[in-house]
Amino acid sequence: EVDPDTVGQYTGMKDKNGEEICEGDIVEWENMMGTKMCSVIAYRGRGFCFVDAHNKPEEIWCYVFKKIGNIHDNPEMLKGGE
CATH of the domain at 10: 2.30.30.290
Instruction: Compute the distance between CA of residue 81 and CA of residue 79 in angstroms, rounded to an integer.
Output: 5
Question: How many separate domains does the chain show?
Answer: 1
Instruction: Compute the distance between CA of residue 10 and CA of residue 78 in angstroms, rounded to an integer.
Output: 21
23 near 11, Cβ under 8 Å? yes
More confident: 63 or 26: 26
The tens digit of pLDDT for each residue in 12-51 reads: 989 999 999 999 999 999 888 888 888 999 888 778 888 8
- pTM recorded for the entire structure: 0.81
Asked if residue 60 is part of any domain, the answer here is: yes
Helices marked H in 1-82 — which ranges? none
| Strands (E) located in 1-82 | 10-14, 20-22, 25-30, 36-44, 47-51, 57-58, 66-70
